[in-house]
Structure 1
Amino acid sequence: MTTLALTGSPLWYAGRVGGTLALILLTATVVLGIASGGRTEPRRIGRFEVGLLHRNLSLLTVVFLVVHVVTVVLDPFVHLSWAVSVVPFGASYRPLWLGLGTAALDLLLAVLVTSALRRRIGLRPWKAVHRLAYAAWPLALFHSAGTGTDTRLPLQLWLYAACLVSVVGAMGWRLVKAGPGRVVGRLVAAVAALAVPVVLAEFLAAGPLQPGWAQRAAVTTVLLGGGR
């Protein structure tokens, strides 16, 4: 057992690397989208360059997500089907936490498809779907924390902290720079930005950082109608 834990499968390592890089790139995409949106105007670079960078980061996120999904499905350790990659909460391995990742992927795919059809569907529907990327980020974060076998490593915890600080910092900066109006929307954004770090910290302390998390995470299989 120790030898397997140390050597591991190349697919397992590729899946973890792809997922980690996808989370980092998604965080950067969300931060850039928050910081450059609204009435804020970039000073040193134009909006075209910001938009181009935002699009390239989004595409890179999808690329590494595909790498993550393909390698995890092909890895014989968890025995996942291809349907699990698009249908949330249907896996037999940690279905709740894998389901969060699948839901995040579905949201990002919806953003990608509507971006390709932006001229046909119109600006307003595209913007409505495009905002789903903000919901995909916390889903991906909790998916990584709940499913990742390396969540207890200090480096991985620092990575989660950096992602949280980046997004919350960008949201705080955006709220400070925002003009008057839309009080309800700004209040909801502020509450969400503060709630995610608190909920994640409590979840980590009570879940993945405690002994026996692997067994407890698998219990949700029964609750969600999966196998034994």
Structure 2
Amino acid sequence: MTSETLWYANRATGAVCLVLFTVVVLLGIAVRLRGRLPGLPRFGTVSLHRTLSLSATAFLALHIAVAVIDGYVDITALDVLVPFRSAYQPLWLGLGTVALDLMLAVLVTSLLRERVGHRAWRAVHRLAYASWPVALVHGLGIGTDTGADWMTWLTVACVTAVAAAVGSRLAHSARAARRTPAAVLRTAEGARP
């Protein structure tokens, strides 16, 4: 493979990762809100979330492999796992490494969910909320297509979708928190003789 082919492959897999991980975050929020996609039962949304998570992870592995294989810049396997040590754009590449490390923690605990327990799994799974924006900033800082119109619109669409979903999730949590004390009070009042 030529260096130019690897460069295009790296750009393409980076853009695909942005889209796939955005959809994964959106589906994860839908699952948490007990939402369904039209035409799918709830377990279908969960299954789609898991399947797309693995697909996104595969594209991420391809994105990283292409970056390491490409001889144009020197990115080592250690640079992939240890943040901010690369000689090539250490800040931007380091942010990608941080996002990868967070996603690896989510992936490993998801695969070992039965062994680590639901509470520990959920706590680690929340790292996905941190890894998505860190990966986004990585792409904005290091991506060669950042200034291109198509990439700007793609990024704006992804950020808008995730912001709306997170806003919906926070609003749902706030409503649930307001209802909980009232429900406890009604239950306690109903139990009085």
TM-score interval w.r.t. the shorter chain? 0.7 to 0.9
SS of the residue 2:177 aligns to: coil
Kindly indicate whether the alpha-carbon contact (under 8 Å) linking 1:35 and 1:173 is maintained by their aligned counterparts in 2: no
Distance 1:50 1:180, change over 3 A: same
Alpha-carbon shift at residue 152 of structure 1 (Å):
0.8
Residues 129-208 of structure 1 mapped to structure 2, 5 A cutoff = 129-178=124-173, 179-181=175-177
Deviation by residue 1:92-131 (Cα, 9 ceiling, x = unmatched): 1111011111111111111111111111111000011111
d(CA) in 1 for partners of 2:5, 2:99: 25
Secondary structure of residue in 1 paired with 2:152: helix
Question: 1:149 Cα shift?
Answer: 1.2
Counterpart in 2 of 1:72? 67
In structure 2, C-alpha distance between the alignment counterparts of 1:83 and 1:182, rounded to whole Å: 47
Report the residue type matching 1:162 in the other structure: A
CA contact (8 A) 1:84 1:102 kept: yes
- In 1, Cα distance between the equivalents of 2:54 and 2:168? 25
Verify: 1:93 aligned to 2:118, yes or no: no
Please say if residues 87 and 102 of structure 1, whose CA atoms lie closer than 8 Å, have aligned partners that are also in contact.
yes
> Unaligned regions of 5+ residues in structure 1, if any?
1-6, 184-228
- TM-score, structure 1 normalization: 0.73
Letter in 1 for 2:136: L
Question: Does the CA-based 8 Å contact 1:34-1:174 persist in structure 2?
Answer: yes
Partner Cα distance (1:85, 1:135) in 2: 18
Quick check: which one's helix share is greater?
A: 2
Q: CA RMSD in A?
A: 1.9
In the alignment, structure 1 residue 42 sits paired with structure 2 residue 36: yes
Preserved CA contact (<8 Å) 2:3 2:70: no
Q: Which among 78, 81, 84 is matched to residue 83 of structure 1?
A: 78
Following the alignment from structure 1 to structure 2, what is the Cα–Cα distance between the partners of residues 41 and 61?
Answer: 21
Q: Where do 4+ consecutive residues of structure 1 move more than 4 Å? A: none
- Aligned partner letter, 1:48: F
Please report how far the alpha carbon of residue 8 of structure 1 lies from its aligned counterpart in structure 2 after TM superposition: 6.1
- 2:16 touches 2:59 (CA, 8 Å); kept in 1? yes
Aligned residues between the structures: 176
Shift of 1:19: 1.2
Once the 2 structures are TM-superposed, how far is the Cα of residue 182 of structure 1 from its aligned partner?
A: 7.4
Calculate the TM-score normalised by the size of structure 2.
Answer: 0.85
Percentage identity across paired residues of the two chains? 49
The answer for the alignment partner of 1:33 in structure 2 is 28
Q: Is the 8 A contact 2:3 2:71 kept in 1?
A: no
- Superposed CA deviations along residues 36-58 of structure 1, whole A, max 9, x for unmatched, are 314x4437432211110000110
- Tell me, in whole angstroms, the C-alpha distance in 2 between the residues paired with 1:151 and 1:76: 22
* Cα deviation code 1:142-177 (max 9, x no counterpart): 000000111111111111101111101112233344
How far, CA to CA, are the matches of 1:12 and 1:65 in structure 2?
Answer: 15
